Amino acid sequence: MKRWCAVTAVLAGVCTAYAMPIEVGAGDNTAGMYVEWKDGFSMEFVLKFAEESISGMELIQRVAQETPLTIVVKNFGFGDYVDGIAYEGHDNEGWGGGEDWWHYWIKGAGQDWTSSMFGASERVVVDGASDGWVYGRAGIPEPATLMLVATGVLLVRRRRGQR
């Protein structure tokens, strides 16, 4: 575990525990959802769904229905807005100045993350898509699965170099 933390610390700047994504729902289609709180804690979820598409709001609401994740949704007159997300003691809500608000990121299968130009209610999520929610920084989502891949590559290279 110490080696894992050392490698992860070099790559990410911190050593955090990693858990496999939580899978919920049922159906042939899947969509990912990444959430990162200001304290650095992050979670990944995979939603299975039967429909051809769902909205980004449906994605986060369904995950919240089947996990300890809770959300605060507000309507400011131009549509629903995710204003708060909490999970097992990690909780950020509202605008706290600067980057302290929920940044909404989207990506299609095989594509890079982009900042959404519209709200989660208007977002069309299809099989293989992902949504990301990041509080407290403007940077793109950094799911731990990417960190695991990078760590694995480094460990393999290191072991090959020792032979």
Considering the domain boundaries, does residue 162 fall inside one? no
In 3-state terms, the chain is what percent helix, strand and coil (to 5)?
25, 35, 40
Residue bearing the bigger pLDDT, 80 or 149: 80
Percentage of the chain modeled with pLDDT above 90: 72
Residue 54 carries which side chain, given as an amino acid letter?
Answer: I
What would the two tokens of residue 59 be? 């994605």
Q: Is residue 36 part of a domain?
A: yes
CB 31, CB 125: distance < 8 Å = yes
pTM to 2 decimal places = 0.78
Which residue range(s) make up the domain with 114? 2-155
Check residue 59 and give its pLDDT: 98
Whether 74 is covered by a domain: the verdict is yes
CA distance 14 to 121: 34
* Residue 126 vs residues 77, 84, 106, 109, 131: alpha-carbon distances, Å: 27, 24, 11, 9, 11
Q: Say what the pLDDT of residue 13 is.
A: 42
In this prediction, residue 3 carries a pLDDT of 38
What is the predicted pLDDT for the residue at 18? Answer: 53
- Number of folded domains that form the chain: 1
Q: Is residue 32 part of a domain?
A: yes
pLDDT tens for residues 3-14? 333 333 344 444
For residue 161, being part of any structural domain is answered with no
Strand, coil or helix: 62: helix
Which phi and psi (to 5°) does residue 150 adopt?
-60, -40
pLDDT band of 157, cuts 50, 70, 90: very low
Per-residue pLDDT at 77: 85
Q: How confident is the model over 83-106, as pLDDT tens digits?
A: 999 999 999 999 999 999 999 999
Q: Is residue 160 domain-resident?
A: no
Q: Which pLDDT score, from 0 to 100, does residue 132 have? A: 98
CATH number at residue 61: 2.170.130.30
| pLDDT at res. 162 | 54
Could you report the per-residue pLDDT of 36-68, keeping only the tens digit for each?
Answer: 999 999 999 999 999 999 999 999 999 999 999
Look at residue 131 and tell me if it is in a domain. Answer: yes
Q: Is residue 163 part of a domain?
A: no
